Amino acid sequence: MPQAGEQDRMTHRLVDSPAGRTHVVEQGSGPLVLLVHGFPESWYSWRHQMPALAAAGYRAAAIDVRGYGRSSRPHAVEAYRMRELVADNAAVVEGLGERSAVIAGHDWGAPIAATSALLRPDVFRAVAMLSVPYTPPGGPRPSEVFAGMGGEEEFYVSYFQRPGRAEAEIEPDVRGWLAGIYAALSAGTMPGPDAPDPHFVSPGGTMRERFPAGGELPAWLSEADLDFYAGEFERTGLTGALNRYRNMDRDWEDLAEFRGAPVTQPSLFVGGAMDASTTWMSGAVKEFPTTLPGLSGAHILDGCGHWVQQERPGETNRLLTGWLASLPQQR
């Protein structure tokens, strides 16, 4: 690997966007690769990918999604609908002086990336999705689907819907809650198959009650890493991040014209074999020949949980850089 020069060091900037401003961290030069994180994370979740992308000849740009980190946090709940996030991504590409980009996303970042490719194929020429498979817009109203899950228990997405409710659980101890959710969804620290599922909340309960006891951090997460994430959310609060979940029905309405639409650009999927986001949506993976006709590969990593690019950075980097090298040269 070449020695890091000036252009290979991470640099921070704020770019004008419909959100107000979007915080972007860059490394390297070459074709632009826009990296979109999920919940509850930040640009920092791509810290292992950025040097690898830079070394491979790409300009890696990891954003804080609106509501997170140093990016703007609009007050209105509806400001976090999917179309707004797509507009932010397109504005970042333009603000960085580029006409097009490859976009990659993890967790919530995966559907944000896929929808960016769907709505703005003129800007996003290829898309990689980690953990959450692509499903075309449409189907039943999301709130009705989630309300029907879990029987007497409440699915976490439903739990997040009422403003202030999840915040009241998380914000008194941000660091402890983050450590719990990261451990609960990581290989090696997630609850066993006979333990209560942390994706569901018992009547009158909290998510925290289902997190692993003992406080052991997953192998991929150092105390310093946890300090970084906790510091970001202690400063910003959780409302902006949670507002993404509170717009799923609005997205369903906003994207009605794209119901059933495939993403036709070159694509890549990487998921963890122990990740509920991948296993619950295995049917979506089987539909990839129809929904992702430009798919190069769907890779399910054995022994991997939800935080794919942090749990398995080496494998993720090899898959991403190999896929990027296979794409047509940017014109």
Cβ atoms of 306 and 131 closer than 8 Å: yes
CB atoms within 10 A of CB 291: 21
User: Tokens 């749990």 belong to which residue?
Assistant: 311
Q: What is the CATH number of the domain that holds 238?
A: 3.40.50.1820
- For the chain, the straight-line distance linking the first and the last C-alpha, in angstroms and rounded, comes to 26
Q: Which residues contact 280 (CB under 8 A, 6 or more apart)?
A: none
State the pLDDT at residue 8: 67
**Of the candidates 87, 92, 85, the residue with the CA atom closest to the CA atom of residue 111:** 85
In a domain, 1, yes or no: no
Q: Which domain holds residue 93?
A: 6-326
CA 256 to centroid of chain Cα atoms: 23
In a domain, 34, yes or no: yes
Catalytic annotation on 107? yes
Cβ atoms of 68 and 21 closer than 8 Å: no
Number of structural domains in the chain: 1
Question: Residue-wise pLDDT tens for the chain (331 aa)?
Answer: 334 444 469 999 999 999 999 999 999 999 999 999 999 999 999 999 999 999 999 999 999 999 999 999 999 999 999 999 999 999 999 999 999 999 999 999 999 999 999 999 999 999 999 999 999 999 999 999 999 998 899 999 999 999 999 999 999 999 999 999 999 999 999 999 899 999 999 999 999 999 998 889 999 999 999 999 999 999 999 999 999 999 999 999 999 999 999 999 999 999 999 999 999 999 999 999 999 999 999 999 999 999 999 999 999 999 999 999 999 876 4
Sign of CA dihedral 9, 10, 16, 18: positive
State the pLDDT at residue 1: 32
In a domain, 331, yes or no: no
In a domain, 33, yes or no: yes
β-strands 32-36, 101-106: how paired?
parallel
Alpha carbon distance 179, 57 (integer Å): 34
State the pLDDT at residue 6: 40
CA distances from 157 to 64, 190, 215, 228, 249 (A): 21, 19, 24, 25, 12
What's the whole-model pTM score?
A: 0.96
State the pLDDT at residue 214: 84
State the pLDDT at residue 230: 98
β-strands 124-130, 267-272: how paired?
parallel
Q: Which residue is catalytic, options 88, 107, 251, 275?
A: 107
Tell me the two tokens of residue 44. 């920092």
Write out pLDDT tens, residues 214-240: 889 999 999 999 999 999 999 999 999
State the pLDDT at residue 330: 63
In a domain, 235, yes or no: yes
State the pLDDT at residue 150: 82
Cβ atoms of 77 and 247 closer than 8 Å: yes
User: Tokens 């997953």 belong to which residue?
Assistant: 218
* Three-state secondary structure of the chain: CCCCCHHHCCEEEEEEECCEEEEEEEECCCCEEEEECCCCCCHHHHCCHHHHHHHCCCEEEEECCCCCCCCCCCCCHHHHCHHHHHHHHHHHHHHCCCCCEEEEEECCHHHHHHHHHHHCCCCEEEEEEECCCCCCCCCCCHHHHHHCCCCCCEEHHHHCCCCCHHHHHHHHHHHHHHHHHHHHCCCCCCCCCCCCCCCEECCCCCCHHHCCCCCCCCCCCCHHHHHHHHHHHHHHCCHHHHCCHHHHHHHHHHCHHHCCCCCCCCEEEEEECCCHHHHCCHHHHHCHHHHCCCEEEEEEECCCCCCHHHHCHHHHHHHHHHHHHHCCCCC
CA distances from 219 to 37, 84, 107, 144, 226 (A): 20, 35, 19, 37, 12
